[in-house]
Amino acid sequence: MVLSGCAIIVRGQPRGGPPPERQINLSNIRAGAMARRAAQSQPDAKDTPDEPWAFQAREFLRKKLIGKEVCFNVEIKTAQGREYGMVYLGRDTTGENIAESLVNEGFATVRREGIRGNNPEQARLCDVEDTAKASKKGMWSEGGGAHTIRDMKYTIEAPRHFVDSMHQKPVNGSIGCPSFKREVDGVETPEAFAAEAKFFTESRLLQRDVQIIMESCPNQVILGSILHPNGNITELLLKEGFARCVDWSMAVYTQGAEKLRAAERSAKERKVRIWKDYVAPTANMDLKDRQFVAKVMQVVNADAMVVKLNSGEYKTIHLSSIRPPRIEGE
C-alpha cells in the first residue's frame, strides 16, 4: 500500500495466513502531505487539504509499486519504531531507486540537512534534484502547484439521486480497505476468517485501478459491483468461502446473480472457511405445514403478509424468491 509520496507499506509472502505489515519511510526526501478528513469526534476540527503535488507523488508511487516486488534497506529506526530507508524496484539494490525517481520527477524535495558527503547515494539525490529544478519539473514548475490540489468531498449530497444519475455506467475508482465489525465501544472485532478475507481482497484490489457500477442506494448506503480485468472479486470471495450471499441485495445485482449463488454453493459443498461446519438442510416439514388454508389479516409489504389459520393461530408468510421495491425509509 502507498500511504503518501514518501511512505509505503510492504508485506512478505503469506505463510499459513496474512503476513505482517511493515511501513517504510523513504530516507532523505520529503513529499507533500496528503489531505486528511477532520476527526468526527472533534467538532471544531477542520479538514486538511492536500499540499501541492502530494497526490501526484502518491499516484506516481502507486502506479509504480502496487503489486510489485521491492527490496529495501533500513537506515534509521526511531525510538517510536518508525523506519527510514531506501527502496528499490525488484529483488535487489540494482533495481530502480524509488527516492531518486520521485526527486527526478519533481515530486519530492531532498532533506539536505541529513546528507553526508561520503555517501554516494545521498550525494546523487542532490544532483538529481538540481537537474529537476533546472528542468522545472513537478513542484519546480511555474505556478506554485495550486492546480494539483484536489477538491475533496467526503460525503455525497442526495446519494440516491447520485446513483440514479449514473444509470449503471462504469465509473473509474480505486479500492480502500474493508473494515472489521465495529462494536458499540468503538473496538473492531474480527469475525471468523475476517483477517484472511481482508488480505484476500487487499492483495488483489487494494489501490488498483478499477471500474464501479453503482447498483442501488437503500437507506443512503451505496451498493455497487467492482469490475476488474482479472475477474469478479465478489464471485471469488464466495467461491473461497470468505463471504455469503445476502438475499436483500442480490435483487439489485446486475452482473449475474446466479453466478454468485453457484459460487456460494461450491463453497458449501467443499465446506471451506465459513462453511466448514455447514450441514445441508433437509425437507422435514409435514404436509399440513406446507399446504394450508388461511385468511389474510394484514399485508406487511408487497412480499409479506400475516394470515390466520382455521385454528386461530397467526403466521407471517414471506413470498420466496422475489424482492419487490421497498417503500422509502424501510
pLDDT of 177: 46
pLDDT higher than threshold 90 for residue 114 = no
Q: Is the pLDDT of residue 329 over 60?
A: no
Scanning 69-152, the segments in alpha helix (DSSP H) are: 98-104, 120-134
Model pLDDT for residues 161-213, shown as the tens digit of each residue? 888 888 778 777 655 544 455 555 656 666 778 888 888 888 888 888 888 88
Q: How far is CA 116 from the centre of its chain?
A: 40
- Give the residue with greater pLDDT, 1 vs 188: 1
CA 103, 84, 7, 113 torsion-angle sign? negative
All three cell numbers of 29: 526526501
Q: What is the DSSP letter of 155?
A: S
In this predicted structure, which of 44-48, 214-218, 226-230 has the lowest mean pLDDT?
A: 226-230
- Note whether 274 and 244 are within 8 A (CB): yes
Asked if residues 31 and 54 have their Cβ atoms less than 8 Å apart, the reply is yes
Query: Tell me, what's the pLDDT at 227?
Result: 80
- Residues 165, 158 contacting (CB under 8 angstroms): no
Taking the whole predicted model, whether its pTM rises above 0.75 is answered as: no
Q: What's the one-letter identity of residue 153?
A: K
Residue 277, pLDDT above cutoff 50: yes
> How far apart, in whole angstroms, are the C-alpha atoms of residue 326 and residue 330?
6
